[in-house]
Structure formats: structure tokens, C-alpha cells
């Protein structure tokens, strides 16, 4: 976004908010070719799916470096074809709730909701939600002991061992839960690089 910071989309910093029902045309000059992504900067719009792939092709007159790294002419042609017709791979997280609900949960819990329901590949994904009964049938005796030691009876709603339980110095004893003690955990947010 060289020389056009108002087209970077950060509401309240580089541009005004785009109000519901309104539009904004982004005008900028591409100074580098390659594969990028566009994404929202407002509240939970990114979590709600406002992102996508953006491909900028190089000028046709631009010389490519393929001859410098290819071992033969066929490999160089394959590289040129791949550069001309790339297949984007866009990975994303998905929750079965909208971002407003996730924000409400985060505020009520005083910690970020870091659990997602599925992974999307190019906008498509699959969820296989097991019932609590199915999950309970798969809990091992060792896991059951750990839950009991922490005064818990079941896995979380997402079918995980609660994060408050951290096991240290686990040994192969008759009572693996004895090596565990309840602890608080730290959650942090990691965002993708541009």
C-alpha cells in the first residue's frame, strides 16, 4: 500500500469505518507481485470469514529467475507454468458461533476463547461432532484418574481434558493422577504473517 495508507483498512487509524450498507473502493498501486491475502481489520469480521486470496501477476516483460534454479528446460517450463497459474491454498479457523458470541464468551470468562470447531481449506471444511457418550467411551482409565484427581467428571464441551490440569513429572506408576495438580494456564493469540 505504498503511498496509499488509507487503503490499508484499519478503521479509526488510516480510514473511517465502512458503515453497514455502505461501500469503499480501494485504490492502490501494486509495487510487488506475488500471493497475498485480504482481510478485515474490524472487530470479529476476520473470524466471521471476511478474508480471501489476492494474486498479483508480474509484468510480462519481467525476467524470471527460473533459469538460475532449474536443472533443465522442462523444469524451467514447469516453474513458469506454476507461476502463471498458481493454485492458492488458504487455511482458516472456524467456530460454530459468530464473532459477537465469541467476544461475549471471552469477556465473561476474562480470557480469550481460543477453541475452534474446524479448519477450513480454501473455505471448505468438515466437522465430526461426537456425542458426550461416544467421547466418554474413549476416555482411558489413566485419563479418568486424572479427571477424578482434579474433582472433574468429564472432558470439556469440546471433548478435551480441561486446560487447568497440567501434568508434570509423569511417571509410570499405579496412580498417574498423583503426579498431576491443578494449575492455571496461559492463553495467547497468534496471528498470521503477511
Q: What is the pLDDT of residue 167?
A: 46
The pLDDT tens digits of the residues spanning 119-135 come to 889 989 887 777 778 87
The model's pTM: 0.60
Q: What is the pLDDT of residue 166?
A: 45
- Taking residues 23-49, what's their average pLDDT? 86
The pLDDT tens digits of the residues spanning 146-189 come to 888 777 777 766 666 665 554 433 444 444 444 444 444 434 33
Question: DSSP readout, 22-60?
Answer: ----------S-EEEEEE--STTTTTTT-EEEEEEPPPT
Query: H or E segment at 181?
Result: strand 180-182
C-alpha 153/C-alpha 136 separation (Å) is 10
Grid cell at residue 133: 457418550
- Average pLDDT, whole number, for the chain? 77
Residue 109 has pLDDT above 90, yes or no: no
C-alpha 125/C-alpha 117 separation (Å) is 10
Q: What is the pLDDT of residue 100?
A: 92
Amino acid at each position: 500500500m505504498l503511498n496509499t495508507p488509507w487503503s490499508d483498512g484499519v478503521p479509526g487509524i488510516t480510514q473511517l469505518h465502512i458503515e453497514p450498507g455502505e461501500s469503499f473502493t480501494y485504490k492502490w498501486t501494486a509495487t510487488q507481485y506475488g500471493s497475498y491475502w485480504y482481510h478485515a481489520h474490524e472487530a470479529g469480521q476476520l473470524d466471521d470469514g471476511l478474508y480471501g486470496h489476492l494474486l498479483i501477476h508480474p509484468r510480462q516483460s519481467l525476467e524470471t529467475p527460473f533459469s538460475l534454479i532449474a536443472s533443465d528446460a522442462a523444469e524451467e517450463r514447469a516453474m513458469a507454468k506454476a507461476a502463471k497459474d498458481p493454485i492458492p491454498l488458504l487455511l482458516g479457523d472456524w467456530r460454530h458461533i459468530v464473532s459477537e458470541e465469541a467476544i461475549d464468551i471471552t469477556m465473561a470468562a476474562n480470557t480469550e476463547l481460543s477453541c475452534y470447531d474446524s479448519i477450513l481449506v480454501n473455505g471448505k471444511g468438515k466437522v465430526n461432532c461426537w456425542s458426550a457418550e461416544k467421547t466418554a467411551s474413549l476416555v482411558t482409565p489413566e485419563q479418568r484418574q486424572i479427571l477424578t484427581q482434579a474433582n472433574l467428571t468429564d472432558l470439556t464441551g469440546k471433548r478435551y481434558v480441561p486446560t487447568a490440569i497440567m501434568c508434570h513429572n509423569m511417571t509410570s506408576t499405579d496412580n498417574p493422577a498423583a503426579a498431576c495438580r491443578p494449575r492455571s494456564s496461559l492463553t495467547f493469540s497468534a496471528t498470521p504473517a503477511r
